[in-house]
Structure 1
Amino acid sequence: MRISTSQYYETTAANYSRGYNNALQTSAEASSLVKVNTAADDPVGAARLIQLGQQSAALTQYTSNISTLKSSYSQSETALTAIQDAMQSARETALSANNGTNTDADRKAFAQQLTQIQQTILGLMNSQDSSGNYIFGGSKTSAPPYTANSDGTYSYNGDQSQLNMAIGDNHSVASNITGWEAFQQSINTARTQVAMTAPAVDDGRVTLSNGQISDSATYDAKFSGGQPYTISFVSGTQLKITDASGTDVTAEASQNGAISNSNGANQTVTFRGVDLGLNINLQSGDVPNTVLPGHTFTLATQPDTFNTSRSAGNPSTAVVTSATTTNQAVYNSTFPAGGAILKFTSATAYDLYAAPISASSRPVSSGTLAGSTATAAGVSLTFGSAPAAGDQFVVQSNNHQTQNILDTMSLMISALNTPVDGSAVAQQKLQATMNAGVSNVTSAMNQAGSALTSIGTRGQALDDQSTTNQSLVLANSTSQSAIRDADPAEVMTRLTLQQTMLQAAQLAFSKINQLGLFNKI
């Protein structure tokens, strides 16, 4: 077989060019110690590097999120700790104020102290982060979560939304503590009420407190089914309790309803999880078996109350002056649990919607104004002046199952500012109110403590995930290095071989080139 000179030159040139390019590429690899610069260098390795790069970016973001979360938790923890300290101060102040030796002037001074503590707590509950966002408002970070109402109560304007951030693959944690979980879920231990039904004019001989829930399990299981209860004093040493159907349930009361009249102050009657404070105030010459029978009281859970507000853009200046439940059955079945919005479609016609209103919202109740009163979903709302078409009013129910610390303190402050000197009955009622307030402050402290525990649990989750992420970062870096980085010894050996082969090719070409026919002429 003969090989033409041109074919030989082309083949040799192509081989030499290929060898030269290989040596040049290996030289670059030896210089950078990177063996995969383009997908052409290693298609499979390049694809794997893209995956590892995406994982690395995600791990970097997780690290940033963990840092952000730790900062957020630190701010929430600081605020909650300060709130708990203020609550403890309020509790100690309330206990001091409840001392029977204090005068009205003393109690007013204590009320001023509680007012100052209340404002401190309010400020802390409306804490903002370094960006000006309110930390306890849920997703509503641009407005204070707590504001005062005209009736002295305080409303939570935030929501229950938890803002989640990813800290690992398929692992997210909430970045915030809402006011709802930290303050609004404090159990209200004073959510029952007592009313005297006989005699028609209170003679002061028997005072019975509204009661405090001492056993939530028993209360939840038994109390509501039998209310309202009637408590009757049948003798100087015995009371009787009947439920709504008239059944005698006295056996479920402490000591089977037996009471003392010889030492009648500060007695406790426990019934279906509720502790009732009882005081017998006999007057000179009273015969217990004569003056105590005939005193009767009703005992029941506090009825729902309502907080109302008008929308800022209302055409009229009308406001709701009162809101009461007028049909309990309809209220229980139709009133929106999350609050309602009453919207006037004309000067007299209105619809009630579940809050918030959306394009797909349908009214749960409709009606026409009767005088100055609108009745919807079992609730009657009275207006101080005539509404107009387009007016909207927010109606939020309060079932008294829970009570925030601000409302608890308002009740104690009001009680301490009410004169009671010279009236044993008034002092006993004050003492009952303050005892209930102290119990609710303790409940609020426990709730804030639960929020702190939640922060601690989340912080531990951050630490655990951070450790996992660091291991993943190390493994990712090792995997990328194994695919991308060159072995210095191997690449130098390969470069030396390629350079030697290139030199040999050059030498062989020059030698064979001398064997041409023209060299023999």
Structure 2
Amino acid sequence: MRISTLQAFNNGVAGIQRNYSNATRTQEQISTGNRILTPADDPVASVRLLQLEQQQNVLSQYNSNLTAAKNSLTQEEVTLNSVNTVLQRVRELAVQAGNGALDPQDRKSIAAELGEREDELLSLMNTRNARGEYLFSGFQGKTPPFVLEGDKYIYKGDEGQRKLQVASSLTIPISDNGKSIFESVTNAGRLDSNIVAQPPASTLSVSAPLVSDETAFASDPGFPSQGIEIQFAADGSSYSIYQLPRTDDGAGNFNDTALPGYSNLSIDDDASSSDLLVFRGVTLHLDGTAQGGERVQLTAPVEPRNKQGILDTIANLRSALESPANGNTGVRDAVAVALTNLDHGMVSVDQARGNIGARLNVIETTQTDNEDVALVNKGVQAELRELDYAEALSRLSMQTVVLEAAQQSYVKIAGLSLFNAMR
């Protein structure tokens, strides 16, 4: 086979360039520490590395969301702790106000502190986060959740709950709306009492009904949905309880049967003391002296008031202490309702705090899981991308020897020429 001088030169140069390129590439791998410099080096590993980097970016976003969720829930928890502290102080003031030995001036002093606590609680319920959004407004972050209109506190937010995705299939709430925590509180004073029949000589008066036991009120048999009627015997010393509506013979004579276990119950005829009636979770005070024939009905109002906000509970108590409607009995009734409603409110706040604690625990475990996945991810990336230095150095040494041999052989072959033999 004939080999021209040009062909010999081209082959020599191509071999040197190829060997030089291999040595240079190995040196670049050593300097960067990466085995894969371009996707062509290992297409399969390159695709896998791209997937792992995408997963790592998603995990980084999840970690950012976890941090934001933790900060939001921590602020909400701190705020609710402060709310609970204020409610405990308000409850102490309510208990103090129930002391029958206090004079009107003492009660006004208590009412003054209740007013300050009411303002403090309003400020806490309208707390903003670091972004300037209200914590308890639901989705209406720019709207103050609670506003005083007239003598009532109105909730201006919505019932939304902001959420963040913290894992591929896990979304966690990072806020709670104020209506669910502070407004949807069971109202113990949701029933009305009304004396529908009373002889002229009777001094009987009744307090506002108090739902003191929610379990007994709602259990079977619970408090009748249409209410009850208390009818006093002719001698005024005993009474029976009937379920509404009652049936009569058309002449005003009732022919229905008293509820079992609640008939011919005796009462104290001392007008200076109060008799306590407890019926299926409802507490009622009977004051004065009954003459006989009195009928008292306990019913739900036409416009239900099953729920009452915490701020309204405090405001109602403050108003009752400032100007009691029925003297000591009015204060007694207002304090009883306020204490029960405050207890319900603190239960609602504690439930919200418990939910926040559960979410914070989920965030903590999710952060740990994400860190573990990220660590495994980085390990796989290192295994695919990073260079084996011992192998690379050995390969570079071999490539250097080959390059030097190619260079030396090229010099010798380049010196071979027919003209040199003809000199």
TM norm structure 1:
0.74
Distance 2:264 2:114 in 1: 37
Counterpart of 1:505 in structure 2 is 406
> Residues 193-231 of structure 1: CA distance to partner in whole angstroms, max 9, x if unpaired?
111112287953232432224133642655575413222
> Residues 55-77 of structure 1: CA distance to partner in whole angstroms, max 9, x if unpaired?
22222222222222222122212
Counterpart of 2:355 in structure 1 is 454
**Higher helix fraction: Structure 1 or Structure 2?**
2
Residue range with higher mean Cα deviation, 410-419 or 239-248: 239-248
Counterpart of 1:371 in structure 2 is none
Question: 1:240 touches 1:248 (CA, 8 Å); kept in 2?
Answer: no
Question: 2:216 touches 2:222 (CA, 8 Å); kept in 1?
Answer: no
Question: 2:229 touches 2:296 (CA, 8 Å); kept in 1?
Answer: yes
Q: For 1:250, which of 246, 250, 259 is the aligned residue? A: 259
Q: For 1:277, which of 284, 296, 299 is the aligned residue? A: 284
Matches within 5 A, 1:400-419: 400-419=305-324
Pick 1 or 2: higher relative contact order, CA cutoff 8 A, min separation 6.
Answer: 2
1:459 is displaced (CA, Å) by 1.0
**Higher strand fraction: Structure 1 or Structure 2?**
1
1:176 is displaced (CA, Å) by 1.2
> Residues 438-471 of structure 1: CA distance to partner in whole angstroms, max 9, x if unpaired?
1101110111111111111111111111111111
Distance 1:515 1:263 in 2: 140
Counterpart of 2:210 in structure 1 is 211
Which SS does the other structure have where 2:193 is aligned?
strand
Matches within 5 A, 1:72-91: 72-91=72-91
- Letter matched to residue 366 of structure 2: Q
Evaluate the alpha carbon distance shift between residue 139 and residue 131 of structure 1 in structure 2; reply closer, same or farther with a 3 A threshold: same
Matches within 5 A, 1:143-182: 143-150=143-150, 152-182=151-181
Which SS does the other structure have where 1:250 is aligned?
coil
Counterpart of 1:112 in structure 2 is 112
> Residues 227-253 of structure 1: CA distance to partner in whole angstroms, max 9, x if unpaired?
132221124332222223425353254
Counterpart of 2:94 in structure 1 is 94
Question: 1:257 touches 1:269 (CA, 8 Å); kept in 2?
Answer: no
Which SS does the other structure have where 1:454 is aligned?
helix
Give aligned pairs, total: 411
Question: 1:187 touches 1:440 (CA, 8 Å); kept in 2?
Answer: yes
Which SS does the other structure have where 2:147 is aligned?
strand
Counterpart of 1:67 in structure 2 is 67
Question: 2:191 touches 2:208 (CA, 8 Å); kept in 1?
Answer: no
Counterpart of 1:232 in structure 2 is 231
Distance 1:140 1:468 in 2: 33
Question: 2:229 touches 2:297 (CA, 8 Å); kept in 1?
Answer: yes
Matches within 5 A, 1:260-409: 260-262=267-269, 265-274=273-282, 276-282=283-289, 291-304=290-303, 399-409=304-314
Evaluate the alpha carbon distance shift between residue 200 and residue 404 of structure 1 in structure 2; reply closer, same or farther with a 3 A threshold: farther
Distance 2:103 2:390 in 1: 93
Question: 1:153 touches 1:407 (CA, 8 Å); kept in 2?
Answer: yes
Evaluate the alpha carbon distance shift between residue 262 and residue 132 of structure 1 in structure 2; reply closer, same or farther with a 3 A threshold: same
Evaluate the alpha carbon distance shift between residue 200 and residue 129 of structure 1 in structure 2; reply closer, same or farther with a 3 A threshold: farther
Gaps of 5+ in 1: 283-290, 305-398
Gaps of 5+ in 2: 247-255
Q: For 1:444, which of 338, 345, 355 is the aligned residue? A: 345
Distance 1:226 1:243 in 2: 9
Evaluate the alpha carbon distance shift between residue 474 and residue 17 of structure 1 in structure 2; reply closer, same or farther with a 3 A threshold: same
Of all paired residues, the percent bearing the same amino acid is 28
- Letter matched to residue 398 of structure 2: L
TM norm structure 2:
0.90
Distance 2:220 2:419 in 1: 118
Counterpart of 2:25 in structure 1 is 25
Counterpart of 1:52 in structure 2 is 52
1:419 is displaced (CA, Å) by 4.2
Matches within 5 A, 1:166-205: 166-199=165-198, 203-205=202-204
Evaluate the alpha carbon distance shift between residue 207 and residue 403 of structure 1 in structure 2; reply closer, same or farther with a 3 A threshold: same
Counterpart of 1:495 in structure 2 is 396
Counterpart of 2:379 in structure 1 is 478
Matches within 5 A, 1:125-136: 125-136=125-136
Counterpart of 1:122 in structure 2 is 122
Residue range with higher mean Cα deviation, 81-90 or 474-483: 474-483
Which SS does the other structure have where 2:164 is aligned?
strand
